[in-house]
Structure 1
Amino acid sequence: MTGPADQPRRDEPASAPPAADPWKSFRGVMAGTLILEAIVVLLALPVVGAVGGGLTAGSRWYLIGFAVLLFLMAGIQGKPWAFWANLAVQLVLIAGWLIYPAVGFMGLLFAGVWLLIGYLRHEVLRRQRLGLLPSQQRPQ
């Protein structure tokens, strides 16, 4: 049975909610980007088969293996080196130019996306160091 002793008193200050972790959402953005990139790479299979020189065993395994790698990398985004690994893996996709130029173009496009994510990462770090993030502001 609950009584008045179990209820918080009205004159006691309410406990503040825990501060939001900006890196939690940032890891989600990076994982989501990797999953979208993996889907785009898998969608390149019919394009390479129809327009390119045709799907060979090597090109098929390259594209499927790369998509699997991207899916697996989505699970390690909590590691401190994950962003740099994400950026480095774009070089592997750019090397896909040898299979079909559109695959290399996808690599260049996603390298640009990862450079933009890198800029956003730098900006969050800068604002966190200066105490300018909304979760670091005191309520008025």
Structure 2
Amino acid sequence: MRRIGGSKKDKKDEPIEYGPLGPGHAPAKDPMKGVRGVQAGTLIMEAITVFLVLTVILRIDEGHYWTTLNQVYVGVVGGAHVLLAFLQRFSWGLWVAVGLQVFVLLGGLIVHASMGIVGIIFVLVWWYLLHLRSNLIERMKRGLLTTQHM
């Protein structure tokens, strides 16, 4: 791999290591579009899982947790997930979806522990999606995608 010049004063000025074919050009197909599709699909799956919490609170302890507050809370959080699935094309959509995980986790305290468990699982899923996204962006910067050299 070859290094491209630059000073090492700070991270901005640090040289980028390019692949053996160089930096290449912009990818023929936008790989971030696929990432946004995965994020939207994850939000839909999470919405389904959050809505399933309604059946849990109805059945547990003979409906003790079946209150208007709990029903509305779960409904609003689940509905927000569905809405955000269609808004992932905007740059702020990802960060709102990540912030929405806080409300799912809070549901473990407000509604029932099962919603908190769902929140923990999906926090891990979103952490992994952000990791994959940053890896893809780094690979694009270095010119390591196949479609950058076609």
Give the TM-score of the pair, scaled to structure 1.
0.82
- 2:46 pairs, out of 13, 37, 48, with 37
Distance 1:82 1:134 in 2: 28
Distance 1:120 1:20 in 2: 18
Residue identity matched to 2:32: W
Residue 54 of structure 1 deviates from its aligned partner by 2.6
Partner in structure 2 of residue 111 of structure 1: 123
Q: Runs of 5+ in structure 2 lacking a partner?
A: 1-26
SS at match of 2:39: helix
Task: Please tell me whether Structure 1 or Structure 2 has the larger radius of gyration of its CA atoms.
Answer: 1
Q: Runs of 5+ in structure 1 lacking a partner?
A: 1-17
Pairing 1:37-76 to 2, within 5 Å after superposition: 37-51=46-60, 53-76=64-87
- Determine whether 1:132 maps to 2:144: yes
Residue 19 of structure 1 deviates from its aligned partner by 0.8
Q: Which stretches of structure 1, 4 residues or more, deviate above 6 A after TM superposition? A: none
Residue identity matched to 1:26: V
Residue 61 of structure 1 deviates from its aligned partner by 0.5
Give the TM-score of the pair, scaled to structure 2.
0.77
Partner in structure 2 of residue 9 of structure 1: none
Task: State how many pairs are aligned.
Answer: 121
Distance 2:147 2:73 in 1: 43
- Determine whether 1:85 maps to 2:85: no
Distance 1:44 1:77 in 2: 24
Q: Deviations over 1:101-135 (max 9, x none)?
A: 11011111101100000000100100000011121
Partner in structure 1 of residue 10 of structure 2: none
Tell me which of the two structures has the higher relative contact order, counting C-alpha pairs closer than 8 angstroms and 6 or more residues apart.
2
CA RMSD, 1 decimal:
1.3
